[in-house]
Amino acid sequence: MPNDCISYQKSGYFSPLMNDYLDQNSKLHSLYNRFPTIENFEAQIIEKLSNFNNNHRNSLVAVLQKQYAGIEISHLTEQNIESLKVNNTFTVTTGHQLNLFSGPLYFLYKIISTINLTTELKVKYPAYNFVPVYWMATEDHDFEEINYFNFKGRKFRWNAASSGPVGRLSTDGLADFFEIFEQELGHSTNAETLKKMFQDAYLKHDNLADATRYLANALFGSQGLVIIDADDANLKRNFIPYIKEELLQQTAHKKVLETTQKLKEYDVQVNPREINLFYIENNLRERIIFENDKFKVNNTKIEFSESEILTLLDSNPEKFSPNVIMRPLYQEVILPNLCYIGGGGEIAYWLELKSFFDAVKVSFPILLVRNSVLLATEKQIKKADKLSLNWNDLFSKQSELINEKTKILSEFDIDLTLLKEQLQKQFSILNEITTKTDPSFAGAVKAQEVKQIKGLENLEKRLLKAEKIKLKDTLNRITDLQNELFPNQSLQERQANFSEFYLESGDHLINKLIERLNPLDQQFDIIEF
């Protein structure tokens, strides 16, 4: 099978904004700091060196060491955490929700992109240390987005009640969930590994944050991944000045609104609030709003005067949670970060934020679109070869693929363009006559031309339909293969869970992904496993 290169831009799965970003369209240049090339990291390092508050390093390391207490970690992860105390150490960060059992496959691709980029940076800039970081979205509260995963086309859902930050959610009830899931895994060596991984993560830890940390460490600890839960009072203490400015000045709202005007031709990913902060407790995460000279917690009776809320901020910064607009700033304030790696949707909302970062004098990171991957078995690749399909074919919309293949497989030309052109030439003779006779004749000629062209177009559609019936068996094999590779006519990486592939390949799956993925390439990786 031809190993076509499918660029992100030509895959059909990226938004116009992301395509323009990847093409480095000049109209977006003001919305990011530096484009992700290995050479551009030199200037990013120098800039971050000049304005990162190195006093934050010791508290960062202390928090990480506390969060990792009781977990067996690799020497490399331990070394990476310790190195964050040193001023010449920088991070590359990705973030992800606390999806049950990691959620969709792209969880792996995000983290592997991050690990592999730090490896490249160490080779290019040996005078510095680079640490891969996974930022757990522990303060999110939309439990419905994360309480399930798909395995072999079946959705496994954890039914539980959640109203506060998901990282604090109890794992009670997951033993019953596991009983159902383990029945689907079978009893192979890889199945037993998956069962133990799930049990150790979710049945031996009290909350979702600890469970997810354990799982990510089990998968990527040997590569030195550092996992951070930023729902922490000591980390937020370093963010107090920015929370205070948000409460009193609403800089984010003003600056991001200005930027969204520059993006009005695109679908804007997120819109700023006047105050981009939540108030959180164990079972509560609600927006902070300002009404009638009072700071109020939405949908509650909790309210504060200005002096009261500032006093609370100083004493209990953990009660303040950044929303999607403020979270990136929080990350860049507490981490010596150079680059954020995310999916197209994430990078789209980061592009709204640079003017805000400039206003509060924090370095804006390099933005890198994570690797995307299509995993295909040897059997699937052989099927594609037999059906004369290349990867460009398989990435196309199914209706377009079937129409195109019907035309190729047909014994005759289904395209009636030649007949239409001949018809138009005949009518051109009549059109010459219309200039020499009564104008009423011109209208009759035009109407007849439209009618007959339309008739040929309808015949063309009928002919295409007839050939689809004749070629039904071959076309069904084509659609079946595409549906295997693109479940629900969507990207595999957004649908399937890693366990489905780990069951077949074990650790070889992750090792091969680490070996193959180049984070600075802008194309889909198609990997046989």
pLDDT given for residue 474 in this prediction: 96
Of the candidates 170, 173, 134, the one whose C-alpha atom is nearest the C-alpha of residue 157 is 173
pLDDT given for residue 341 in this prediction: 98
Task: Report the C-alpha gap between 529 and 384 in whole angstroms.
Answer: 15
What residues form DSSP beta bridges with 207? 170
pLDDT band at 58 (very low <50, low <70, confident <90, very high): very high
Of the candidates 182, 188, 183, 184, the one whose C-alpha atom is nearest the C-alpha of residue 202 is 182
Say if residue 440's pLDDT is above 90.
no
Secondary structure of 447-488 in HEC code, one letter for each residue: HHHHHHHHHHHHHHHHHHHHHHHHCHHHHHHHHHHHHHHCHH
Contact 18, 348 (CB under 8 A): yes
Exposed, middle or buried, 452 (CB in 10 Å: 0-12/13-18/19+)? Answer: middle
Lowest mean pLDDT among 140-149, 375-384, 424-433: 424-433
pLDDT band at 83 (very low <50, low <70, confident <90, very high): very high
pLDDT given for residue 100 in this prediction: 98
Overall average pLDDT of the 270-279 stretch: 96
Taking only the tens place, the pLDDT of each residue in 445-487 is 788 878 887 877 787 788 778 988 999 999 999 999 999 999 9
- Which amino acid does the sequence have at 352? E
Q: Tokens 């596991």 map to which residue?
A: 178
pTM of the model: 0.93
Of the candidates 111, 90, 15, 77, the one whose C-alpha atom is nearest the C-alpha of residue 519 is 111
Taking only the tens place, the pLDDT of each residue in 316-370 is 999 999 999 999 999 999 999 999 999 999 999 999 999 999 999 999 999 999 9
Say if residue 430's pLDDT is above 90.
no
Residue 381 DSSP SS3: helix
Say if residue 410's pLDDT is above 80.
yes
Task: Report the C-alpha gap between 472 and 482 in whole angstroms.
Answer: 15
Going 42 to 43 to 46 to 48, the CA torsion angle's sign is negative
Q: Tokens 């507490």 map to which residue?
A: 334
Say if residue 2's pLDDT is above 60.
no
Whole-angstrom CA distances from 379 to 230, 387, 468, 481 are 44, 12, 25, 10
pLDDT given for residue 49 in this prediction: 96
Say if residue 416's pLDDT is above 80.
no
Overall average pLDDT of the 241-261 stretch: 97
Taking only the tens place, the pLDDT of each residue in 6-36 is 999 999 999 999 999 999 999 999 999 999 9
Say if residue 266's pLDDT is above 90.
yes
Stretch (H or E) spanning 228 = strand 226-229
Task: Report the C-alpha gap between 81 and 60 in whole angstroms.
Answer: 9
For 443, residues 6+ apart whose C-beta sits below 8 A from its C-beta are none
